[in-house]
Amino acid sequence: MSEDGAHRLPRPLAGRRVVDLSQFIAGPSAAMYLADFGAEVVKVESPQGDGSRTLPGNAFGSYYTRSFNCGKESRTLDLRDPAQRARLDEWLAEADAFICNLAPASLKSLGLDGPTLRARFPRLVITLISGYGQDDPRPCMDTVAQCESGFAMLNADEDGSPRLSTGWPVDMACGLVAGMSCAMAMLDPAREGCVIDISMMEVAANLLLGPAALALSEGAALGRPMGNRDRASAPSNIYRCRDGHVYILGGLDAYWLRLKPLIGCTDDAPIAERVARAPQFDALLEAWTLPRGRDEVLAEMARLQIPAGVVREPAEAIARIRGLRPDAVTRELRGGEHVPLFPALLNGHRLPRTATPAVGGARRHA
């Protein structure tokens, strides 16, 4: 990156200090976003390290730890030792924010619950992430939250079998909400500090159930599980081609008006009826896609300005994304290690990220 490019990048959190006592995904990713925008983040780990460090990886370490802990310094503490627990208080006294996703029962036993910290450090922005809120001691993980929040049933197969997402959507969403909330609180001109209480259940209901939560709250019924079908439009689904699969979002009225002559359909059913009869309309569209190659199908969709894409293997997809966007996905360091990159361009440049530190290690160089 050129010096001018680096100077144009926003660093609103420069000079802010964040203590990150979190593990796995939600808390660490929230703190990583703060580091992206200039905060000095200290990751506090046990001498054995964040639990994610034991998850699969390679010679450079766990893929999971290295995905969500860029830009940080690591310091180790055994919080069961009173002297080391007191050291954490010293760091909090000098910090602007604290991020933690330990279970509420653990926080209380360590004197790190919201009310205790608020009383001791009134200017500290305290961001606490838990499964069910700070008043419920139950532990939780992403996949549990997907089930408890109703998302696994909203995402169910057409036969009613619940489905989980392998992309940790609850953790990822919690990280974004926690990072944004913490940043905004730190930047508040009043700077009075606060406790930000984030529940995985509530985030899942808000960001994963989305319109379904509003519909249910107002008395509507969701109907049968839809599998890969869109709940709001039809035909919109994954369709077989001669050489693979494509997704076509053809069910919005404007798109359907262009699509139906192509596939030889004369049915003028409105969108609500098309959703109710989605299998019939899917069959009509797949009868058109099945004898054709994916490229031919996509070319026709592009001509008609109908959103569509190939269902790709992840490795192929990453290669294509890198071809479309400069320096996308990851950056390779000397020796072959990769650093995940912030997924946005700011004035044409990437925010600078450094690789995840070793347990107890200093912030690594760019």
In this predicted structure, what is the pLDDT of residue 277? Answer: 97
Give the span between the Cα atoms of 228 and 155, in whole angstroms.
8
At 145, is the secondary structure helix, strand, or coil? helix
Can you name the residues that pair with 309 across neighbouring β-strands?
Answer: 247
In this prediction, residue 8 has a pLDDT band, given cuts at 50, 70 and 90, of confident
Amino acid 275: pLDDT: 96
User: Whole-prediction pTM value?
Assistant: 0.94
- Predicted confidence at residue 188, as pLDDT, reads 95
Architecture of domain 3-209: 3-Layer(aba) Sandwich (3.40)
Cα angle 92, 111, 115 (rounded to 5 degrees) comes to: 85
Please give the pLDDT value at position 326.
82
pLDDT of 2 > 60? The answer is: no
pLDDT at res. 4: 52
Task: Tell the burial category of 197 from Cβ atoms under 10 Å away from its Cβ (0-12, 13-18, 19+).
Answer: middle
Task: Give the span between the Cα atoms of 342 and 1, in whole angstroms.
Answer: 14
pLDDT at 190: 87
pLDDT tens-digit series, residues 336-353: 999 999 999 999 999 999
What is the layout of strands, in order, in the sheet containing 72-76?
Answer: 72-76, 40-45, 17-21, 97-100, 125-130, 194-199
Burial class (CB in 10 A: 0-12, 13-18, 19+), 348: exposed
Answer whether residue 51 shows pLDDT above 70: yes
pLDDT at 96 over 90: yes
pLDDT digit string, tens, across residues 215-265: 999 999 998 999 999 999 999 999 999 999 999 999 999 999 999 999 999
Q: Where are the domains of the chain?
A: 3-209, 236-311
Q: Which helix (H) or strand (E) holds 41?
A: strand 40-45
Q: State the pLDDT at residue 78.
A: 98
pLDDT at 7: 59
- Residue ranges in 70-224 assigned as alpha helix (H): 82-93, 104-110, 114-120, 142-148, 151-154, 169-187, 200-204, 211-217
Provide the 8-state DSSP code for 60: T
pLDDT at residue number 1: 47
Strand, coil or helix: 218: coil
CATH class of 236-311: alpha beta
Q: pLDDT > 70: what percent of the chain?
A: 98
**pLDDT digits 0-9 by tens, 143-182:** 999 999 999 999 999 999 999 999 999 999 999 999 999 9
